Amino acid sequence: MSDPIHLIDAPGAPSAIGPYSHAARVGDLLFCSGQIPLDPATMKLVEGGIEAQTRQVLANIAAVLASQGLDFSRVVKATVFLADMGDFPLVNPLYAAAMGDHKPARSTVQVAALPLGSRVEIEVIAAY
């Protein structure tokens, strides 16, 4: 018998803009949906460029993790999607600061476009 799937809607994170949950728990793993820089209060993209957008994305991920009693130290894999790989030097230090000494596996890719015109989206997998 396989582990049940628990779908998570996290308070403090922006509402989903499509037919998905913030995360899904299977066994001891939490698969978090990608977060874009939506302000949970206004449901609008934050202003201020790639750095402000990255900070908001990381705050949104932190809210999803916290809803399950987790933090960035429990992340085992992250995927960073950028609309422009030229933003990488600005995103990378903010990502590193959020992770602290913890350095999970990571992929970073440039994509043609992101939802609502976002410049960054990040998804993570965490372990309980």
Q: Could you report the per-residue pLDDT of 13-39, keeping only the tens digit for each?
A: 999 999 999 999 999 999 999 999 999
Q: Tell me what pLDDT residue 2 has.
A: 84
- Which structural domain range is residue 52 located in? 5-127
**How many domains does the chain fold into?**
1
CATH number for the domain harbouring residue 21: 3.30.1330.40
Give per-residue pLDDT as tens, 37-75.
999 999 999 999 999 999 999 999 999 999 999 999 999
The sign of the dihedral angle between the CA atoms of 118, 82, 87, 89 is positive
Mean pLDDT for 8-17 is 95
User: What is the per-residue burial (b if ≥16 Cβ within 10 Å, else e) of 94-126?
Assistant: bbeebbeeeebeeeeeeeeebeeebbbbbbbbb
> What's residue 1's pLDDT?
63
For the chain, give the mean pLDDT: 97
- pTM for the complete prediction? 0.96
